[in-house]
Structure 1
Amino acid sequence: MLELFKRLLKHISPRRRWQFGILAILIVIASISEVIGLGAILPFLTVLLSPNVVYQHPKAAYLLELLEIKSSNDLLIPITLLFSSAILFSGFMRLLLLWAQTKICFALGGDFSYKTYKNVLYQPYKIQISRNSSEVISGLVKASGLVNSIVLPIVNIISATCMLLMILITLLYIDVKIALTSILGFGLIYFIIIRITKRKLQLDSQRISRESTNIIKALNEGLGGIRDILIDNTQQTYCDIYRNADLPSRKAQSNIAIISASPRFILEALGMVLIAFLALFLVLKSNSILNVFPTLGALAMGAQRMLPILQTLYVNIITIKGSQASLSDALELMDYKIPYYSNIESGLNFKYENSLKFQNVNFSYNSDGPIILKDINLLINKGERVGFIGETGSGKSTLIDILMGLTFPDNGEFLIDDVKLTLENQKYWQKQIAHVPQNIFLTDSTILENIAFGVPRNEIILEKVVEAARKAQLHDTIDSWELKFDTLVGERGVRLSGGQKQRIGIARALYKDANVIIFDEATSALDSATETEVMNSINSLSPDLTILIIAHRISTLQLCNKIIELNSGRIINVGKYNQIIGLKK
């Protein structure tokens, strides 16, 4: 657990560390105010019961004479005001401490959540496709929840420990034996409970962490495939999957809650019994209730303050132990390093003007895996319409991934106008390309925001959006709608047809001012008539645009002036449509 805390500490910014330093000072002041409030009880009760005792103390008598307090009755009001002030100051400091630690901890939680999300988004494509999205979402949720499960409990433990030490020092000053007996007795009970429940908490923590991922997976799959689920009437199957993940998590959470709350009731009862015996012991020892009443009152109030603090310590320790597995999962994402090249602005400022070239390219996803691309040599001139065909697994998409800078060859080079694509200039190259996939990702927002995807609303240039829609043969359709470009598309574009979605993808690429547009199986899910319309839209685009089209059906590529056929990672044919068709006969 200590190792996890060290890893977590590395993710706290200097600004938050400075704020926690201020918080530490507040904790000390609040703890001292607690001692002042507790320590004021003894003189307050003493003055109430035996005011004349104060005058027998030399220093107190001198102070009273200095303040011109001559009778015991004159002493009652000032001592009451002083006692009340001490209690009010203590309460104020506890309230201020609560406000400060809550604000700082939740701000830190925001830092953790944002940093984790940023780390995930900036990871290379190879890492993105290697993880299940449910695991990533679960990790992000856990990182967001670190405030309540880890950060606040740690701060509460530090605060409670500091206050407990101050209270203990005060009680030791009043009566050493009784104070030690109380703290050791209560502390021993909590220690035994923690030792007994340690293994159970660890198992429940792992179960909560594991099942939270399964719950998100069940939600993703159930809601993502809702059309097929409704058609096949398999709702109950997915309800069972969700329940089988949710119930174990709920049981584990209930176990931790019970373990956290149980000692409180035992300690409250034992505390009252202990105070009763302490009262009996002190009375028998002094033979006078009046003599021991101030001491007993101070000890009783000390115990009354100590028990909730002990319970706070215990509950927060249990909370941390119960969240250990979730912390480990969150740290796995938080420990990701943002690649150094992510923030590099290319000093080359190159612009694609002539050709794209694959030169002796070989690629495999891992060293002991199959070779996906073998000895690829290919030249694509600016303004060409180039089609790619081949069976599933032939390497078409991998070839395009290299062209888009999502991954890099094991051997060989990909060149833009004889400039080798590297990690350092990847970002600049990707500004010049646009990708239109088979399934266009649409946000649940307006047509305007989906065409200018990723651009803040207040920075979108309407005229540019309209022009992109016009070139994509979509403007007339949008113009016929009541809200026009402010029309909501629904979640994942549910209110649009397949052809309309593809045209939004084309318009999005044009809004980006891309020099290269890649259509990756963009028409495979469309009917023939819609596919023809979309292909005509593509063909009508500027002749300066280089357009690359991946397709399963060769008929889709009739308008291309060059077709590349791949098989088992190799280019086996290059030619025009009629030539490739001739080879197929």
Structure 2
Amino acid sequence: MAEKKHSTFDFFRYIKKKISIHLYLYVFVNALVGLLDGLGIALFIPLLTIIAGDSTESHESLGKLRYFTDFLQDIGISLSLVNVLIVMVILFALKGGFSYIRTLYNIKLRLYIIKRIRFDLIECLSNVSYNGFTQYNSGKIQNTLTVEVNRMTKAMTLLFESIQSVSMLLTYVLLAFFSNWQFAILVAIGGFISNFIYKYINKITKEAARNLSQTGTDFNTHLIQILQNFKYLKATNYVEKYDKKIKDTILKSQDLEFKMSIYNAITEAAREPITILIIALVIILQVNILGSAFSSILVSLLFFYRALTYLTSLQSQWNMLLNNVAGYESVSEILEEFSDDSEPTQKNIPITKIKHIEATDISLSYGDNAVLNHVSLHIKEKESVALVGESGAGKTTLANVICGLAKPDEGSLLINNEVLEDYRLDSYRNKIGYISQDPVIFNDTIFNNITFWDEKTPKNLERFWQCINLVALDNFMENLSKKEDATLGSNGILVSGGQKQRISIARELYKDVDLLIMDEATSALDSETEKHIKESIDSLQGKYMMVIIAHRLSTIKNVDMIYLMENGNVIAQGNYDELYTASDRFKKMVDIQNLDS
């Protein structure tokens, strides 16, 4: 997918879509805080003139804001020292109250958006098809779901701060305009000119932020690969070369972060000097050139000092926002990819029981590579079948079609004599257990691994121990001090390969499935452990519909039907004895493994 760049205003529209009318309410609360602050500041002039004893100067300096003091007098509040102070205290108290409301409102909106972002990512990832997922860069997914989401969260915080600054800025500009429109226009022009100083910095900051996102993806990709391949890298001493690759990425990331820090430091350091410079130049122009009295611009000056402070804060916030808005671009990009690769909308018909599976003339290609060629098979209720053949024969791909992970290009998969697409796919998968060559073990207790975090009720515990007995793990469990609460460690590092495999089988049995798919479930085990797993598998035959993929043919002697595959074709089928007699290829495979002796 070509990289799509999003503007900062796209980010604003995204946030607006998430919170709708709440954004306008947030702006209103900010404007109200600014108005109360401004009116409180305006009362400093009557306060000073009361002390000086010159009410005329007060009216001249307030400009049209004198309507506020006139209103106070109209409702019977004279402009005495005590009254003015009381009104000021009330105004600033109200401002404090609304500031508190604004802060809580800000937090609540941000937490809601963060929740929605994370929910959207997880839900969209869950809906991605298996075929689509295999095309992804796992480092990019990890970087986006962690680092880039955090950057987007920071960007959102800065966006709310920017909205706050804009609201306060406009409020103070409006108050300043009512106080002295000439002075207001001059300062506004100065602020507009200063904005060009920040425009260039903002541009290079945003580009650096995009590069930082890509570097983060590269780092996470390298990190995942060194963890996955650590044994090989260590044994061959390639780990040193790979270390250098990762360190180069870290140095590049640090260089980009340092550059962005420089840009942020420039905007932060320039904020106050630029504010004072603009105000100083405007005062000189207003007083010395236009001949206005300084008293006539005093209130407007106070408002504009406030306004320019928020303007320069806004410019600084905007620059930092650009540092982090690339996180939104990364999140948006991966959401679009997830959406493009999502599974089709599910139908409403659920599957309550898998009684019969029929693959009819199935063909499937990945690009120009034909993986399955007009393959057909039948599986009846509680019948066991095996798929055998050399690597690349198409066994796992056919299993992927059977469990709904891959959709064939041609042919159809019938479940209970209806095409799979007519059913709800999740209800079908609820009835499937999948056991792979590498057991899936979570860093948690044995109980949680097998029950998949079911509540530990007496009924669930009884079912748990039944599954433990079915896979012959009861002796192993008896020697554990914590029994079902014993932890397994990361990827089951605290138990053996055979124990991990039996735990993974027990999980599928606990699930109460109709179909068990075993993909090379014993190929990574030693002979003794394989014998125990084979006994577990044999004990399950006749109780479940089973699809067994095996290189070691010892596990399939007792299945009902064997499909021998080669280059995506089924070249022979029958039970073990029939195939051994009828197929030279199968006989050779058996003899090589010395299974006939």
TM over 0.5: yes
Distance in 1 (CA, whole Å) between partners of 2:493 and 2:22 is 47
Deviations 1:52-105 (A, max 9, x none): 548999997997698586xx9xx2222223233333433443343233113212
SS at match of 2:542: coil
Which 10-residue stretch deviates more, 494-503 or 235-244? 235-244
2:38 maps to 1:35: yes
* Matched residue type, 2:434: H
User: For the structure 1 residues 38 and 222, does the alpha-carbon distance in structure 2 shift closer, same or farther, using more than 3 Å as the test?
Assistant: farther
Of 144, 155, 161, the residue aligned with 1:139 is 144
* Matched residue type, 1:170: L
Deviation at 1:527, TM superposition (A): 0.8
Deviation at 1:542, TM superposition (A): 5.2
Distance in 2 (CA, whole Å) between partners of 1:274 and 1:320 is 25
Task: Give the aligned length.
Answer: 572
| Partners of 2:191 and 2:278 within 8 A in 1 | no
* Matched residue type, 1:512: K
Which 10-residue stretch deviates more, 519-528 or 58-67? 58-67
Deviations 1:292-341 (A, max 9, x none): 45843x34533442233112221232234334443222112334449586
TM-score, normalised to structure 2, is 0.86
Of 77, 83, 90, the residue aligned with 1:78 is 83
Partner of 2:442: 443
| Partners of 1:142 and 1:330 within 8 A in 2 | no
Distance in 2 (CA, whole Å) between partners of 1:65 and 1:577 is 105
| Partners of 1:12 and 1:108 within 8 A in 2 | no
Deviation at 1:153, TM superposition (A): 2.9
Deviation at 1:4, TM superposition (A): 7.1
Deviations 1:119-167 (A, max 9, x none): 0111111111111222122222356336534333333333222221221
Deviation at 1:106, TM superposition (A): 2.5
Partner of 1:265: 269
Partner of 1:358: 359
1:350-389 to 2 correspondences below 5 Å:
351-353=353-355, 355-366=356-367, 369-389=368-388
* Matched residue type, 1:206: R
SS at match of 2:136: coil
User: For the structure 1 residues 293 and 456, does the alpha-carbon distance in structure 2 shift closer, same or farther, using more than 3 Å as the test?
Assistant: farther
User: For the structure 1 residues 477 and 56, does the alpha-carbon distance in structure 2 shift closer, same or farther, using more than 3 Å as the test?
Assistant: closer
Distance in 2 (CA, whole Å) between partners of 1:62 and 1:241 is 72
SS at match of 2:370: coil
Partner of 1:520: 519
Which 10-residue stretch deviates more, 470-479 or 232-241? 232-241
Of 210, 213, 219, the residue aligned with 2:214 is 210
Partner of 2:307: 306
Percent same amino acid at aligned positions? Answer: 22
1:43-82 to 2 correspondences below 5 Å:
43-51=46-54, 53=56, 67=76, 75-82=80-87
User: For the structure 1 residues 473 and 211, does the alpha-carbon distance in structure 2 shift closer, same or farther, using more than 3 Å as the test?
Assistant: same
Distance in 1 (CA, whole Å) between partners of 2:219 and 2:379 is 47
Distance in 1 (CA, whole Å) between partners of 2:496 and 2:70 is 93
Partner of 2:193: 188
Of 159, 168, 173, the residue aligned with 1:168 is 173
User: For the structure 1 residues 175 and 426, does the alpha-carbon distance in structure 2 shift closer, same or farther, using more than 3 Å as the test?
Assistant: closer
* Matched residue type, 2:470: K
Deviation at 1:236, TM superposition (A): 3.9
SS at match of 1:523: coil
| Partners of 2:176 and 2:304 within 8 A in 1 | no
Which 10-residue stretch deviates more, 425-434 or 37-46? 37-46
Partner of 2:256: 252
Deviations 1:444-481 (A, max 9, x none): 11000101126466798111111011101112211220
Distance in 2 (CA, whole Å) between partners of 1:165 and 1:205 is 29
Partner of 1:148: 153
| Partners of 2:522 and 2:552 within 8 A in 1 | no
Partner of 1:115: 120
| Partners of 1:142 and 1:327 within 8 A in 2 | no
Partner of 2:502: 503
| Partners of 2:184 and 2:304 within 8 A in 1 | no
User: For the structure 1 residues 224 and 510, does the alpha-carbon distance in structure 2 shift closer, same or farther, using more than 3 Å as the test?
Assistant: same
TM-score, normalised to structure 1, is 0.88
Distance in 2 (CA, whole Å) between partners of 1:400 and 1:473 is 26
User: For the structure 1 residues 580 and 56, does the alpha-carbon distance in structure 2 shift closer, same or farther, using more than 3 Å as the test?
Assistant: closer
SS at match of 2:349: coil
* Matched residue type, 1:351: K
SS at match of 2:517: strand
Distance in 2 (CA, whole Å) between partners of 1:448 and 1:176 is 74
User: For the structure 1 residues 54 and 322, does the alpha-carbon distance in structure 2 shift closer, same or farther, using more than 3 Å as the test?
Assistant: closer
SS at match of 1:540: helix
| Partners of 1:468 and 1:510 within 8 A in 2 | yes
SS at match of 1:514: coil
User: For the structure 1 residues 287 and 294, does the alpha-carbon distance in structure 2 shift closer, same or farther, using more than 3 Å as the test?
Assistant: closer
Deviation at 1:397, TM superposition (A): 0.5
User: For the structure 1 residues 342 and 56, does the alpha-carbon distance in structure 2 shift closer, same or farther, using more than 3 Å as the test?
Assistant: closer
SS at match of 1:518: strand
| Partners of 1:142 and 1:329 within 8 A in 2 | no
Deviation at 1:523, TM superposition (A): 0.9
Which 10-residue stretch deviates more, 252-261 or 574-583? 574-583
Deviation at 1:356, TM superposition (A): 2.2
* Matched residue type, 1:265: A
Deviation at 1:111, TM superposition (A): 0.6
1:419-434 to 2 correspondences below 5 Å:
419-422=418-421, 424-434=423-433
Deviation at 1:492, TM superposition (A): 0.9
SS at match of 2:421: coil
Distance in 2 (CA, whole Å) between partners of 1:8 and 1:186 is 23
Deviation at 1:253, TM superposition (A): 2.5
SS at match of 2:464: helix
User: For the structure 1 residues 494 and 345, does the alpha-carbon distance in structure 2 shift closer, same or farther, using more than 3 Å as the test?
Assistant: farther
* Matched residue type, 2:427: Y
* Matched residue type, 2:40: G
Deviation at 1:538, TM superposition (A): 0.9
Distance in 2 (CA, whole Å) between partners of 1:170 and 1:445 is 61
| Partners of 1:363 and 1:411 within 8 A in 2 | yes
Partner of 1:484: 483
Distance in 2 (CA, whole Å) between partners of 1:209 and 1:3 is 15
Unaligned runs of 5+ in 2: 61-65, 589-597
* Matched residue type, 1:562: M
Distance in 1 (CA, whole Å) between partners of 2:73 and 2:11 is 57
Deviations 1:513-542 (A, max 9, x none): 112111101111111111111111110125
SS at match of 1:372: strand
Deviations 1:334-393 (A, max 9, x none): 34449586665425x45223x322211111134xx2221111122223333322111221
User: For the structure 1 residues 76 and 463, does the alpha-carbon distance in structure 2 shift closer, same or farther, using more than 3 Å as the test?
Assistant: same
Deviation at 1:6, TM superposition (A): 4.7
| Partners of 1:260 and 1:314 within 8 A in 2 | no
| Partners of 1:516 and 1:545 within 8 A in 2 | yes
Distance in 2 (CA, whole Å) between partners of 1:222 and 1:11 is 37
Deviation at 1:408, TM superposition (A): 1.9
User: For the structure 1 residues 299 and 387, does the alpha-carbon distance in structure 2 shift closer, same or farther, using more than 3 Å as the test?
Assistant: same
Of 198, 201, 207, the residue aligned with 1:197 is 201
User: For the structure 1 residues 132 and 547, does the alpha-carbon distance in structure 2 shift closer, same or farther, using more than 3 Å as the test?
Assistant: same
Of 96, 99, 102, the residue aligned with 2:101 is 96
Partner of 2:389: 390
* Matched residue type, 1:538: I
Distance in 2 (CA, whole Å) between partners of 1:55 and 1:352 is 88
Distance in 2 (CA, whole Å) between partners of 1:68 and 1:255 is 57
Distance in 1 (CA, whole Å) between partners of 2:184 and 2:104 is 31
* Matched residue type, 1:316: Q
Distance in 2 (CA, whole Å) between partners of 1:460 and 1:246 is 52
User: For the structure 1 residues 135 and 460, does the alpha-carbon distance in structure 2 shift closer, same or farther, using more than 3 Å as the test?
Assistant: farther
SS at match of 1:380: strand
User: For the structure 1 residues 65 and 36, does the alpha-carbon distance in structure 2 shift closer, same or farther, using more than 3 Å as the test?
Assistant: closer
| Partners of 1:134 and 1:220 within 8 A in 2 | yes
SS at match of 2:157: helix
Q: Considering only aligned residues, what root-mean-square deviation do their CA atoms show, in Å?
A: 3.3
